[in-house]
């Protein structure tokens, strides 16, 4: 028996599989039906999408260095904004608006972010209720836009105070508290960055997994089981 289990497939095994085309056909149909049934009986979560346009105003913010360094600059500034999107303040605010969702669930399961370095950033939220998924992602995108703008405004104020200090227009003792506050609230965001929420209502919402994925997975799974059944129920040279 051990020899039969460990032996490589023979020509007879392949011929047995080819002759069992009826089982392949019935198995694929059965698997597709099972996959469709699972889709309707246990529907996947819905995913809503919101888009935020991020403009780093590179023609104004980058005025020195080689052109190739622009990519490193954009990557660095993008990472800062990613941290703003997942900031504790934003997550806590969403958790308060949706009491059944903890910050851990939001970060690990429900919220997703996909973004280029400069352009459209896509925010996604998953929920069993499509309307609630839309509310969730809209709330998150608005929180991000508000926090990013607030940080950019504080960065502008910080830059103005720093310039005034360099020019001797003010003394450090008079603005030290303001400097500390602005450094914390600006979060290192560039004062040139501009963000805008392009759509707040009627956001695109669709099932996270399509019906075709369930049908394909069901058909493929049953076909594998059929193939194994045909091979292991056949006679071999024990």
Q: What is the pLDDT of residue 55?
A: 86
Tens digit of each residue's pLDDT (9 = 90 or more) over 172-198: 666 777 777 777 777 778 888 888 888
- Please check whether residues 154 and 99 belong to one and the same domain: yes
Say how many domains are in the chain: 2
pLDDT-derived band of residue 145, with 50, 70 and 90 as boundaries? very high
CA angle (157 as vertex; 154, 161 as ends), nearest 5:
135
Residue 168 shares a structural domain with residue 229: no
Q: Are residues 185 and 196 in the same domain?
A: yes
**Best-predicted range by mean pLDDT among 68-82, 99-113, 212-226?**
99-113
Which tops the pLDDT comparison, 32 or 106?
Answer: 106
Domain shared by 34 and 131, yes or no? no
Same domain, 188 and 229: no
Q: What is the pLDDT of residue 120?
A: 86
- Give yes or no: residues 234 and 185 share one domain: no
Q: Which domain does 237 fall in, by range?
A: 27-44+216-238
177 Cβ contact list (under 8 Å, min separation 6) = none
- Is there a domain that residue 12 lies in? no
Cα–Cα distance measured from residue 191 to residue 40, given in angstroms and rounded to the nearest whole number: 49
In a domain, 16, yes or no: no
Could you tell me the sign of the dihedral formed by the alpha carbons of 137, 139, 144, 149, in that order? positive
Residue 185 lies in a domain: yes
- Give the pLDDT of residue 237: 43
Residue 233 lies in a domain: yes
Q: Which 8-state DSSP code applies to residue 198?
A: -
Residue 103's nearest CA partner among 84, 89, 83 is 89
128 in a structural domain? yes
Do 156 and 228 fall into the same domain? no
Any domain includes 94:
yes
38 and 58: one domain? Answer: no
Residues 40 and 50 both lie in one domain: no
Query: In this structure, is residue 15 part of a structural domain?
Result: no
The answer to whether residues 203 and 232 belong to one domain is no
- Does 11 reside within a domain? no
Same domain, 226 and 110: no
Q: Are 96 and 175 within one domain?
A: yes
What pLDDT, on the 0 to 100 scale, is given for residue 238?
41
Q: pLDDT at residue 115 above 80?
A: no
């Amino acid at each position: 028996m051990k020899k039969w289990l460990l032996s490589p497939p023979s020509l007879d095994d392949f011929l047995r599989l080819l002759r069992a085309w009826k089982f392949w056909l019935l198995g694929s149909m059965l698997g597709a039906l099972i996959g469709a049934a699972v889709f309707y009986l246990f529907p996947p979560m819905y995913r809503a999408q919101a888009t935020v346009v991020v403009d780093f105003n590179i023609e104004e913010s980058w005025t020195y260095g080689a052109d190739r360094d622009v990519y490193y600059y954009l990557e660095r500034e993008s990472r800062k904004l990613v941290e703003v999107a997942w900031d504790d303040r934003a997550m806590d605010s969403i958790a308060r608006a949706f009491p059944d969702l903890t910050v851990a669930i939001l970060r690990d399961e429900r919220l997703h972010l996909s973004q280029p370095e400069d352009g459209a950033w896509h925010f996604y939220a998953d929920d069993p209720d499509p309307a609630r998924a839309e509310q969730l992602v809209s709330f998150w995108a608005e929180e991000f836009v508000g926090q990013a703008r607030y940080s950019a405004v504080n960065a502008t104020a910080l830059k103005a105070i720093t310039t005034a200090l360099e020019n001797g227009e003010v003394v450090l003792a008079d603005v030290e508290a303001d400097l500390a506050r602005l450094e914390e609230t600006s979060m290192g965001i560039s004062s040139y960055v501009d963000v805008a929420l392009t759509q707040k209502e009627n956001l695109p919402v669709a099932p996270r997994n399509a019906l075709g994925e369930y049908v394909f997975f069901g058909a493929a799974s049953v076909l594998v089981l059929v193939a194994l059944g045909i091979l292991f129920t056949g006679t071999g040279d024990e």
